[in-house]
């Protein structure tokens, strides 16, 4: 019989291979297609292990259509689907939105969520013992054995824990286990968090606080809104928003709430306040945690057990399952801006997340950012106001010390007016804070003979003298060296002289003037750990310190009942230069540090040493005219089209080959697209042009608010191929212009 005609019996086309897009926490690409092996079920959000070249990596199966242009024969199969709680669709949506807004690869944003693969690895907990359901009848009980069995009631404990609780040796515990009275169990390596109790009563509220709480409670459960809690320092903003947190937790038994704080120092007293209010410690997230602590928080957030999280800006990217409220405390703080990797601002991303997921966001501040105030004025945000301090405390009186009329003695930094005021305060047994936001002993070290300024190697940054350690340190690059005995430029011995004051130098002057006083320095150099910071703050609160010399680390979030005088040694610091936000930032930090004075029954005072007493910032602080100052700042920004009435983005080129860097910059100049409402300034050397041998050039892009600055940047950058030796960084909404 002959062969059948091919046209009558066509071959059946092979079934397409099931495939899925997998995003990996890498800075390249937005995901790769992988084949789903037969019998494996993979859904969006699942964590999977996939091959990538010679490596195996953990990634996330992503929603959306795979790339059909890649043939089935080129697909590699998924190696494993991990038994872990999948990422929610809300988290994946947030990753996509942040990547698009910040012009960052999706994988880099996902890396913020995943942190590392350690939290997804299976880990066994320590061996423990629990009471057996039915102890053996023939068990002989001694006094020690009874003590162990009593200690074993409740949750399982390790042998050493039982022995310690019962006051016996481990051998007694093991003998009971061998006899069948205790049964071995495996403890969960990631202990669940105790559930917060929102029904516990909070602190008594003033009339203003109660009114604010009523307004905020009405917003909980009502969809998206953003509300500013605008209250003077000491007005009790924290108590107000904790009542809103309680409302969110009470409305939904699975709700999760995030409270963002700008710095870890703020979490030290805050965590105990949370525990007092809700009867359970919150999950806290910050850079000072151990890897085991991070794993526990990450996994308990992912499975919904951690319902209340307090953390720094990166806590925004934890894998929440049912996030229902975000509070951004001290929303004006520049610390919410991330300056490497994904360049995001946590306050703005928190608002975006609330808007996309339909829940309220609360912003709290005594000195709100201009961006937030503009949104309030335009009706995008609501506002509740706390105009006065809680209880008997009143706002401190503020006085400006004109340093042109009352200069310090030669070689000193404190005006005679400040010295006299300190004498009076110390004689009454009250506390003083000398504030200077400059670490170390002196910001500049130069040679008296040849004028050489000590700089970090291959950098344009000055070395700061730290006399406590006798080292010169660069706070930008991390470079550190012992202070040399001779000038490295001219060889002159004993010629290197400190110029200007840092907190160490102010503390030195204070010790010379008040040798009997108890003096401490609070800066990131002198308080290097969370425990050290806690100890110093507790000593200050207990009245064991007379004079606290502090940087911005002590300027906010702390309540010192005995502190009645705050003196800013250099109130003009920060006003110089061309930084768009210099005046706003200076006003905010001086307002915050001033707010530490007189927070209890005793009235407080603030003194500002200034060589520019007529500067609008100094005048506004002296007259306590916050609204007048901010209104003037807003008018100035509006007239120039700067944020919040326009958009800014920075494009930074960096590389170690100066010639290629300049060529890349000129290539970009030639490719700038013409767009209405957009201006491109530059290229220009960055203020810190050289860092560790790397040269840096900046473009600044300014646009009207109606223009999508991201669309402009994508169109521009897609036309230019930058050489691999040049690094390109885009910063949408820049806060740092150095």
**Is pLDDT of 265 > 60?**
no
- Overall CATH class of domain 646-732: alpha beta
Is 45 within 8 Å of 84 (Cβ atoms)?
Answer: no
| 320 vs 145: which has the higher pLDDT | 320
Is 351 within 8 Å of 361 (Cβ atoms)?
Answer: yes
Q: What is the pLDDT of residues 622-655, one digit of tens each?
A: 988 888 999 999 999 999 999 999 999 999 999 9
Which pLDDT value is given to residue 117? Answer: 64
Q: What is the pLDDT of residues 115-167, one digit of tens each?
A: 866 778 777 777 888 888 887 877 888 899 889 998 888 888 888 889 999 89
**Is pLDDT of 179 > 90?**
no
**Is pLDDT of 525 > 90?**
no
Nearest to 150 by CA among 138, 171, 167, 134: 167
Which pLDDT value is given to residue 281? Answer: 92
Which pLDDT value is given to residue 393? Answer: 61
**Is pLDDT of 375 > 50?**
yes
C-alpha span between 381 and 368 (Å, rounded): 12
Place 332 in a pLDDT band, splitting at 50, 70 and 90: very high
- Overall CATH class of domain 397-438+501-635: alpha beta
Mean pLDDT value across the chain: 90
Please report the beta strands in 656-693, taking only residues with DSSP state E, as ranges in sequence order: 678-691
CATH architecture of 127-186: Orthogonal Bundle (1.10)
Asked if 127-186 and 646-732 have one fold, the answer is: no
Beta-sheet pairing, 444-447 with 496-499: antiparallel
Which pLDDT value is given to residue 28? Answer: 79
Place 338 in a pLDDT band, splitting at 50, 70 and 90: very high
CATH topology of domain 207-386: Rossmann fold (3.40.50)
- Cα of 547 vs its chain's centroid, Å: 29
Mapped to the 3 state alphabet, what secondary structure does 483-516 carry? Answer: CCCECCCCCCECCEEEECCCHHHHHHHHHHHCCC
The CA-CA-CA angle for residues 346, 348, 350, to 5°, reads 65
pTM score over 0.85: yes
Q: Where are the domains of the chain?
A: 19-114, 127-186, 207-386, 397-438+501-635, 646-732
Beta-sheet pairing, 283-285 with 471-473: unpaired
Sheet holding 464-466, edge to edge: 464-466, 471-473, 480-482
The number of beta carbons lying within 10 Å of the beta carbon of residue 94 is 23
C-alpha span between 693 and 576 (Å, rounded): 27
DSSP state of 365: E
Q: What is the pLDDT of residues 25-40, one digit of tens each?
A: 998 778 899 999 998 9
**Is pLDDT of 47 > 60?**
yes
**Residues found in the chain:** 738
Place 1 in a pLDDT band, splitting at 50, 70 and 90: very low
The listed CATH number (3.40.630.30, 2.30.30.30, 3.40.190.10, 3.40.1440.60) that belongs to domain 19-114: 3.40.1440.60
Which pLDDT value is given to residue 567? Answer: 93
C-alpha span between 490 and 447 (Å, rounded): 9
């Amino acid at each position: 019989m002959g062969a059948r005609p091919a046209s009558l019996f066509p071959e059946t086309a092979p079934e397409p291979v099931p495939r899925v897009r997998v995003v990996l926490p890498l800075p390249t690409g937005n995901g790769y297609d992988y084949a789903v092996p037969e019998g494996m079920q993979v859904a969006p959000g699942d964590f999977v292990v996939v091959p990538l070249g010679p490596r195996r990596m953990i990634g996330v199966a992503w929603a959306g259509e795979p790339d059909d242009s890649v043939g089935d024969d080129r697909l590699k199969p998924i190696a494993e689907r991990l038994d872990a709680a999948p990422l929610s669709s809300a988290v994946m949506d947030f990753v996509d939105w942040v990547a698009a807004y910040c012009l960052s690869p999706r994988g880099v944003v996902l890396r913020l969520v995943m942190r590392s693969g350690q939290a997804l690895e299976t880990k066994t907990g320590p061996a423990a013992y629990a009471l057996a359901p039915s102890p053996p009848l023939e068990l002989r009980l001694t006094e020690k054995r009874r003590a162990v069995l009593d200690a074993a009631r409740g949750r399982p404990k390790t042998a050493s824990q039982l022995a310690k609780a019962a006051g016996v040796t481990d051998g007694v515990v093991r003998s009971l286990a061998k006899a069948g009275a205790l049964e071995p169990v495996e403890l969960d390596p990631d202990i669940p968090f105790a559930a917060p109790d929102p029904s516990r009563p909070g602190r008594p509220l003033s009339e203003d606080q109660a009114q604010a709480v009523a307004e905020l409670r009405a917003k909980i459960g009502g969809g998206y809104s953003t509300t500013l809690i605008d209250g003077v320092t000491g007005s009790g903003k924290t108590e107000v928003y904790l009542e809103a947190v309680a409302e969110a937790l009470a409305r939904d038994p699975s709700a999760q709430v995030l409270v963002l704080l700008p710095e870890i120092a703020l979490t030290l007293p805050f965590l105990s306040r949370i525990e007092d209010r809700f009867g359970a410690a919150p999950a806290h997230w910050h850079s000072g945690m151990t890897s085991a602590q991070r794993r526990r928080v990450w996994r308990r957030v992912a499975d919904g057990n951690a319902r209340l999280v307090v953390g720094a800006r990166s806590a925004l990217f934890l894998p929440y399952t049912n996030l229902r409220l975000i509070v951004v405390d001290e929303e004006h703080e520049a610390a919410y801006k991330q300056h490497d990797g994904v360049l995001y601002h946590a306050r703005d991303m928190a608002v975006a997340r609330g808007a996309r997921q339909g829940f309220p966001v609360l912003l709290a501040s005594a000195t709100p950012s201009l961006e937030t105030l503009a949104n309030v004025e335009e009706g995008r945000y609501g506002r509740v106001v706390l105009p006065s301090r809680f209880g008997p405390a009143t706002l401190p009186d503020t006085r400006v010390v004109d340093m042109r009329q009352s200069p310090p003695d030669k070689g000193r930094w404190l005006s005679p007016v400040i010295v006299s005021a300190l004498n009076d305060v110390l004689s009454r047994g009250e506390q003083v804070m000398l504030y200077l936001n400059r670490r170390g002993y002196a910001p500049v070290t130069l040679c008296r003979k040849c004028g050489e300024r000590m700089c970090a190697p291959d950098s344009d940054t000055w070395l700061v003298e730290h006399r406590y350690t006798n080292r010169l340190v660069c706070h930008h690059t991390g470079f550190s060296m012992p202070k040399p005995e001779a000038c490295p430029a001219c060889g002159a011995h004993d010629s290197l002289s400190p110029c200007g004051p840092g907190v160490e130098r102010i503390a030195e002057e204070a010790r010379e003037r008040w040798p009997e006083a108890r003096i401490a320095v609070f800066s990131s150099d002198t308080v290097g750990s969370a425990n050290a910071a806690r100890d110093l703050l507790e000593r200050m609160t207990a009245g064991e310190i007379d004079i606290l010399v502090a940087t911005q680390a002590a300027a906010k979030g702390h309540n010192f009942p005995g502190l009645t005088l705050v003196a800013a040694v250099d109130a003009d610091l920060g006003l110089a230069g061309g930084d768009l936000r210099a005046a706003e930032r200076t006003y905010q930090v001086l307002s915050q540090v001033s707010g530490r004075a007189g927070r209890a029954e005793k009235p407080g005072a603030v003194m500002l040493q200034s060589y520019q007493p007529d500067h609008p910032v100094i005048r506004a602080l002296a007259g306590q005219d916050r609204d007048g100052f901010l209104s003037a700042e807003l008018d100035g920004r509006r007239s120039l089209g700067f944020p919040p009435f326009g958009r800014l983005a920075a494009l930074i080129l960096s590389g170690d080959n100066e010639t290629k860097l300049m060529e890349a910059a000129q290539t970009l100049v030639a490719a700038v697209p013409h767009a209405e409402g957009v201006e491109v300034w530059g290229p220009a050397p960055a203020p810190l042009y050289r860092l560790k041998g790397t040269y840096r050039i900046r473009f600044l892009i300014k646009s009207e608010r109606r223009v999508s600055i991201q669309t402009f940047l994508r169109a521009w950058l897609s036309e230019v191929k930058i050489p691999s030796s040049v690094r390109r960084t885009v910063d949408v909404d820049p806060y740092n212009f150095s």
